[in-house]
Chains A and B, each alone.
Chain A
């Protein structure tokens, strides 16, 4: 049998079966189409404007490395006119980031891009090692998770950049959609599907140019382009809902390769069906811009270090318990008739009471309003954002020996000073 020819150029030998649709392609056609699709995503969503300074959230992993490589290629090929900067976060866990940060440093040279590594100590006045020392191993996951969520945005602000791109791919987005369905979180479901979070009013916008790219194709691209990336072994298993959604996505892909894309499409369509009271998003406005993920765990796909670890299953068990309590509470309200024998019960209904029992609404349908943190100015649904709240606690308990100056003021003023410095230095 003659070797199969590439379905696109029909001249070279097909070497790759595209994970997305099982098309048989040659290597160069695969690379070309992979890049063309990301270009398509960028242009149809008007993601960038000429002259934009863009920070690429770089972890040294495959997604962000591919993102950096593709953006550099497209920026040159199509004259986007972008100034691309690599931005990496150092949580300050001894040894943990060494290899990945080395990778990012090499990428900076390979792609000829400036690299900024910001440490938790610089951003928050605390490294994760110091946090662990102060509060013990238990519970530090919360800190790392919350700090991490803001770190890229804060880091970008330090650089005077208002647009961060991350390597979230189609698998991540699909996983987040299923996860939010499983945990009944419509507001996050509505937000997680848009390619850009944050709008013109927010200081830092976030976007995911690889939103429609399959993880498997990202790996293939990295392999065939011989990209230099660091294979991160995640230290922590994902929390139960995400883990559950992740394995569903993997199985779905096996049964029907288009399923990942189809879930993303469903998510986009469903976002339009989420009642406005729930999402806080007006459908009149442009669809692709929605609220920021400021305090959202929807960025959880960040992988290592996001440390949502806990004991697997605990999250589901916790939610089950809470839901049962709610059920019991509401059944006490409405279900008085449940103990009356059935015939008498329905008879009663037949004769009296035309009005239905009031729908149990409102409790879950709280409108989420996003403002900014009074302390740091970061987007937050509370007066004081989670990071600042945690910092306050940390700083209050900071051993006196370590800080000679006024404990209360030290941290917040450094932070403020730094922010001001950034704002000035940004220009």
Chain B
């Protein structure tokens, strides 16, 4: 190869492998691409997962309403951005859209300062993406839900409330759980139940979660480690959740790092309205505050770095698990997922061997709880 050819080769190397026009600035797995092509790759992957929500036929059906939970993190913000463009595209071509978004933010913190910050931030989203309807709730609103066995959580029924504000009762509830893992497990269960309730009340036919492949892989192992293996088919696969509405994960074919890069591309001007979490690699395994979720986040952060396809393969694998038939099941009093006859609670299976080793049950019967919820509540 002559010197001249070598120079040409070098130049070509720094050009985008897809369009061959712009300079390569990012990489998709091992392919070097420009920011435009990278952005398009991410968008295409997400929109492909929205196939079910394309415009069908010419009859002017009302758009289907879908709930999009917005946490202000890079994933849900990117998803909102992508779908906003998708809907815009449908309008541009057909003068109507196949679906509309109901964007819901749920505050996990009860601190008034946090609440104020988050409502200000939500206003920015409304200005930025004005087409959609918005609503926000506090996690304490979950305490008003029907269909949860509040007694199992050792707190009174919502209607028996002692006049204390729900935020205080939520703090009391979560504060009474000693293990960090159980606390975050119960909080995220309440969050899901609240989202489902809000979706149903607002006649949404499904929820669009912003989980990336990496997040779904974390979830696969986290739920397994929390004794919730039975629930995986409803937690990682697209489709009908047992709650009577669909769960979909349009970003399921994208890595977390790809979404983070996408969200920070200057052209999208998203970064200023996104709250980036601290990196988990500082989490120490010995800390009392460390949760199983933290461990898995940390673990998959490192696997994603070197073995992204293995991350995707974990999700592909757990998505093959088939939900059990809902016949002969009872809904868990906390998470609401179907529990097969005789498989509730942490007692009475092969691994529970001796009544002497059980902690004493504090009071009467709580109704049916699944293994995972029972573990988080009882020990």
Interface residues of A (CB under 8 A from B): 8, 18, 20-21, 23, 33, 36-37, 40-41, 44-45, 170, 177-178, 181-186, 195, 211-212, 244, 248, 251-252, 254-256, 258-259, 261-270, 272-275, 278, 316-317, 319-320, 323-324, 327, 338-339, 341-343, 345-347, 349-350, 354, 356, 365
Contacts and interface: CB of A to CB of B under 8 A. Distances in A.
Nearest to A267: B229
Given A324-B309, A346-B54, A181 B379 contact: no
Contacts of B188: none
Contacts of B290: 255
8 contacts: A181-B224, A182-B314, A186-B320, A258-B346, A267-B229, A268-B229, A273-B232, A346-B90
Contacts of A342: 40, 43-44, 47, 89
B229 to A, nearest CB: 3
B307 A262 contact: no
Given A23-B357, A41-B353, A350-B93, A275 B310 contact: no
A343 B85 CA distance: 10
B360 to A, nearest CB: 10
Interface stretch (B157-165, B199-207, B321-329): B321-329
B318 A263 contact: no
Interface of B: 18, 29-30, 40-41, 43-44, 47, 51, 54-56, 86, 89-90, 92-94, 179-182, 220-221, 223-230, 232-233, 285-286, 290-292, 295, 299, 303, 306-310, 312-314, 316-318, 320-324, 343, 346, 349-351, 353-354, 356-357, 359, 371-372, 375, 379
A48 to B, nearest CB: 16
Given A248-B299, A255-B292, A345-B44, A212 B350 contact: yes
Given A37-B353, A269-B343, A273-B230, A262 B225 contact: yes
Given A37-B354, A45-B350, A184-B316, A266 B225 contact: yes
A333 to B, nearest CB: 14
A262 B374 CA distance: 11
Contact of B357 (A18, A182, A251, A263): A18
Contact of A327 (B92, B228, B309, B314): B309
Interface of A is mostly: helix
A261 B310 contact: no
Contacts of A317: 306-307
Contacts of B322: 273-275
Q: List the 6 shortest-distance A-B pairs measured between CB atoms, nearest first.
A: A266-B229, A262-B227, A323-B309, A37-B353, A269-B230, A184-B317
Nearest to B315: A184
Given A195-B350, A270-B230, A345-B47, 6 more contacts: A40-B354, A256-B225, A256-B292, A266-B223, A266-B227, A350-B55
A248 B351 contact: no
Contacts of B180: 255
Contact of B314 (A45, A181, A258, A270): A181
A273 B233 contact: yes
Contacts of A256: 179, 181-182, 225, 292
A346 B321 contact: no
A278 B51 contact: no
